Amino acid sequence: QVLAWGLRGLRGAVREPRLELQWGEQSLWTPPIEDIAANPNFPSNAFVLTLALPEEERFVPPIRLRLWHRAGAERRLLLGQASVRGLRRCHLPHSSCPLPRPGCPLPHPCPIPGGHQGYLSPPAPAPHQDEEDEEEEEEEDEEERDWWSKFYASMEDKDPQCPRGTNGDRLKIYGCELEEVPEFEGLQDFCQTFPLYKPGRVPLPGQDPEPVGDFKGLFRIYPVPEEPGASPPPRCFQRLPPSKPQECLVRVYIVRAFDLSPRDVTGLSDPYVRVSLGKRTLGQRDQYVPNTLEPVFGRMFELTATIPLEKDLRVTVMDHDKVPPDQEIGSTTIDLEDRLLSHCRAHCGLPALYRTWVPSVCPQGKVQMWVDIFPTSLGPPGPPVNIDPRKAEGYELRCVVWNVRDTDLGDINLLGQRMSDIYVSGWLDGLPEQRQQTDIHYRSQDGNGAFNWRFVFPFEFLAAKKLCAIRRKEHVWSLDETLLKVPPKLILQVWDNDKFKADDLLGILELELTRLCRPAPSARLCWASPQDLPWFSRPWFSRPWFSVPWFSVPWFSVPWCRAPVLARSPLNLFRRRRARGWWPCTMQEDGGQRLSGKLELTLELLTAREAEERPAGKGREEPNKHPTLPEPRRPKSSFLWLQSPLSLVRHGIHWRYFLWSGLALAAFLLLLVLHSFF
């Protein structure tokens, strides 16, 4: 059986083309196409040939195709020809079944809840979590579960930091063109494409000459029963779609590109996308992504087309230049007719099949995208999928530094006493220009300092990816800002201020806001690791074998016998919004970290709108509220000796030691005088 669907890609003035098919000693002619510009499909599509073939495939003759067109009243001209070999895949068993009608729903439809269009795979089983993690998962904002969350959840090896809901939809993503996926049969299960070449120009191995056109068709070979009276097998091509051109709405979703070739002297590019179908071209050059070889486009283009008259969709990635013309980075062409006629096409309402991905290969990179085709005869489709790139939301982190405890004493004063002039500096990772520091607690002789100082850090945050979005120009000559994505991390450092040399670093504290280690309620329970805890606060002290009756008596139930906070899971400040307590500072020493101080902090996270409604100044500046910070209580000896030398005499010298020394000297002199007289 032969399915002669139509002719494609014929150039020039072609009149009433028809195809001659010759196989062995038999041949057939298709009816001519009256107006190929209006409908390039044959008026009749299904044909039958009965002939004897050898059983061994190597002896099976090839199918010869010849394309003719009318050059005069009684004269026809040969335009192109082809030879079809390797017909093994065309063989069908005795009990062959007719092909399913393209566009018909497959069995067992499963509608998507909430009216969401698409084929989505069933949700993955939820992993085991403790009660606290389940409570935090229930508090997750639904806005974070956007389309990009489903996308990155499906790209398991691409974005491990992306939140993966236990009941979220999953997408099926292929790492190659759909034509290369074996289960899709090259998207030519309905009809295949056979290129036709000029007569006398047979393509040589390794060469790819330009064809004069393409034949769209399919062959099916099956044995005829030899027993007399046996019923013939059911024929194929009984239920065919209409051969007339179809008006379709085409939605092209361009997700992202990667491995692009650089076009600028900086080794990067400013890519943007153009989509062409028929005579229409969409895509504006000012919508480019600056300074990247892996742009995230998140663009949807909507076009109307008459298929198969306008079947070749061309996607081009361009490099934006300040002075046109722009350079082409790469392009790819997608046959929309194959996707419309294939039974592997998208059908809304069935699981795990919709949004079949088209990672189309460009000569200079790859584009990750998909195409939806909606025949207008089926009615208007639903709204398009929103794949707009994630926009960072404005946040403000307020960090109040209350006290410092047990820091190192880095200096020795004129009287030989160890001391430090302590201050704290802080900034968000990736934003060193926002670095702020407290005032100085002078002449701390016990490693303690009081500040009551507020840091204010505005930043932009991508909630679904849990990353901060930072835009900056990498070079002085850069014309566009580059988007950087870094984890939200607060860095605090404790320093010893020196007037005549570089300041000494006393301790570092790094706090990741999405996985914030829980603070200790007091400085005594704040330690860098469980090994640093007192023996009565270590994790093994709270194990079940300590639950004996005499451990429950009132005199033994003291607060310091509880399990340490270090054993608890971290918290997400973007959900918790506020945390207060003590965190340990560490220093790298001898290949490891040691505890070098403790910081009492209050961390509060507000949205940009909340920050405007509840303003607060830096340090203790106005508006000094939310909360109001009083002046710190510091000992009288905390001052800068260069500004108050008399105060140094008063508070810097321990007069009681001089008093006792003077009394002892006077007693010694008195004894010496008495000894000289007596």
Give dist(CA 579, CA 589) in Å, integer. Answer: 29
Span 337-350, average pLDDT = 72
Q: Phi-psi category of 567—alpha, beta or left, where left has phi over 0 and alpha has psi -120 to 50?
A: alpha
* φ, ψ (nearest 5 deg) of residue 225: -60, 135
Helix (H) or strand (E) holding 153: helix 147-154
Residue 405's closest CA among 560, 491, 526?
A: 526
Query: 623: cis peptide before it, omega within 30°?
Result: yes
Are residues 496 and 404 in contact, defined by beta-carbon separation less than 8 angstroms?
no
Torsion of CA 575, 625, 422, 658, to 10 degrees: -140
Residue 98 has pLDDT above 60, yes or no: no
pLDDT tens-place string over residues 540-597: 444 444 444 444 444 444 333 334 444 578 999 999 999 999 999 999 887 788 899 9
Q: Which two tokens stand for residue 573?
A: 């400040």
Q: Is 615 helix (H, G, I), strand (E, B) or coil?
A: coil
What's the confidence (pLDDT) of residue 170? 66
Q: Which two tokens stand for residue 663?
A: 């009394």
Q: With 0-12 CB in 10 A as exposed, 13-18 as middle and 19+ as buried, what is 67? A: buried
Q: Which two tokens stand for residue 551?
A: 């451990």
Are residues 496 and 425 in contact, defined by beta-carbon separation less than 8 angstroms?
no
Output the CA angle 245-248-251, nearest 5 degrees: 145
Residue 641 has pLDDT above 60, yes or no: no
* φ, ψ (nearest 5 deg) of residue 629: -105, 115
pLDDT tens-place string over residues 301-330: 999 999 999 999 999 999 998 887 899 999
Amino acid identity, position 373? I
For residue 566, give Cα distances in angstroms to 241, 524, 525, 557, 582.
Answer: 67, 13, 10, 21, 12
Global pTM? 0.71
pLDDT tens-place string over residues 415-440: 667 888 999 999 999 999 999 999 99
* CA count, 13 A, side-chain hemisphere, 542: 14
What's the confidence (pLDDT) of residue 521? 93
Q: Which two tokens stand for residue 124?
A: 């993955």
Beta strands in 406-447 (DSSP E): 411-412, 418-428, 431-437, 441-444
Are residues 191 and 2 in contact, defined by beta-carbon separation less than 8 angstroms?
no
Helices (H) and strands (E) in the chain, counts: 7, 28
Lowest mean pLDDT among 39-43, 236-240, 357-361: 357-361
Secondary structure (DSSP) of 221-289:
B-PPP-STTPPPPPPS--S----S-EEEEEEEEEEEEESPPP-STTS-B-EEEEEEETTEEE--TTS--
Give dist(CA 96, CA 281) in Å, integer. Answer: 44
Residue 43 has pLDDT above 80, yes or no: yes
pLDDT tens-place string over residues 155-214: 754 444 444 444 455 678 888 888 888 888 788 888 889 999 888 765 666 677 788 999
Give dist(CA 669, CA 665) in Å, integer. Answer: 6
The full length of the chain comes to: 678
Q: Domains in the chain, ordered, with CATH?
A: 2-95+189-219 (2.60.40.150), 246-378 (2.60.40.150), 393-529+569-613 (2.60.40.150)
Helix (H) or strand (E) holding 581: strand 578-589
